[in-house]
Amino acid sequence: MPDKDEIIKRVRKAFEYDRQINLHRHPVKVSYADGVVILEGEVESVAVKKLALEHAAAVDGVRGVVDRLHVAPAERRGDGAIRDSVCALLLHQPEFRQCAIRGFASGRLETLRDVAAAGDGDIEVAVSEGVVTLEGRVGSNSHKRVAGVLGWWSPGCRDVVNSLAVEPPEADSDDEVLDALGLVLEMDPLTRDAQIHVSCRDYVVTLEGVVRTEEGRRQAELNAWCLFAVDRVVNRIAVQQ
């Protein structure tokens, strides 16, 4: 069994081999105890966060990974502003029109929209130090994933803890990922009219097709990475010349 220093060395080496992980710009603290690797710090994207967790978990001798990584936001905003942004996005999306929306403000839960008891869900939004937490219930895995993406879309968001329950419970699958990503790509103005074909196998998403701009190409990939349980994204989208 490798010792503590060797495990940490192997994790760091795995990071260095991945061109998407820039430890010089965004240092990651790696520690290890009792078979568990702890990762701490700010990284530059959701993709880097998920890749770092995957690399650490794959190191021989690692039995678990504690995720304390956050994403460095493009702009810093207060928790109240982030919460308001998440709630506004939820309120304006047709997919959540039958969901009650509530937000924590100054330690109190405020109801922003209530629905009848037979509604499709009840979502509570809380934000602490830039980390968005979603609790409550929604009617499908697709709704859970889309709600999480809206959290990531909110300026200032550093992480999303998606604790939404799906009621009635349903089995998750690659098809559920595809359903959610289709909704997200249609919602995003940068990808709405793009010719993008999406496939998913074992929670690895592959994007193909043509977009008009490099920004659209990057945004399509980011949207896929933001989906709950997506482990990897392969971007084969071409930019139309």
Query: How high is the pLDDT of residue 120?
Result: 80
CATH number at residue 44: 3.30.1340.30
Record the tokens describing residue 192, joined without a space.
């709405």
- Is 122 in the same domain as 96? yes
Per-residue pLDDT of 42-91, as tens digits, reads 999 999 999 999 999 999 999 999 999 999 999 999 999 999 999 999 99
Low-confidence ranges of the chain (pLDDT < 50): none
User: What's the per-residue H, E or C state across the chain?
Assistant: CCCHHHHHHHHHHHHHHCCCCCCCCCCCEEEEECCEEEEEEEECCHHHHHHHHHHHHHCCCCCEEEEEEEECCCCCCCHHHHHHHHHHHHHHCHHHCCEEEEEEECCEEEEEECCCCCCCEEEEEEEECCEEEEEEEECCHHHHHHHHHHHHHCCCCCEEEECCEECCCCCCCHHHHHHHHHHHHHHCCCCCCCEEEEEEECCEEEEEEEECCHHHHHHHHHHHHCCCCCCEEEEEEEECC
CATH number at residue 185: 3.30.70.1770
- Is 113 in the same domain as 161? yes
**Domain enclosing residue 8, as ranges:** 4-71
Query: How high is the pLDDT of residue 100?
Result: 95
Sign of the four-CA dihedral 50, 39, 28, 75: positive
- Domain stops at, among 42, 71, 100: 71
Query: How high is the pLDDT of residue 18?
Result: 94
pTM (predicted TM-score):
0.93
- Is 94 in the same domain as 122? yes
Q: How many domains does the chain have?
A: 3
- Domain stops at, among 138, 166, 194: 166
- Is 158 in the same domain as 179? no
- Domain stops at, among 148, 166, 184: 166
- Is 52 in the same domain as 115? no
- Is 50 in the same domain as 98? no
- Is 64 in the same domain as 95? no
- Is 162 in the same domain as 227? no
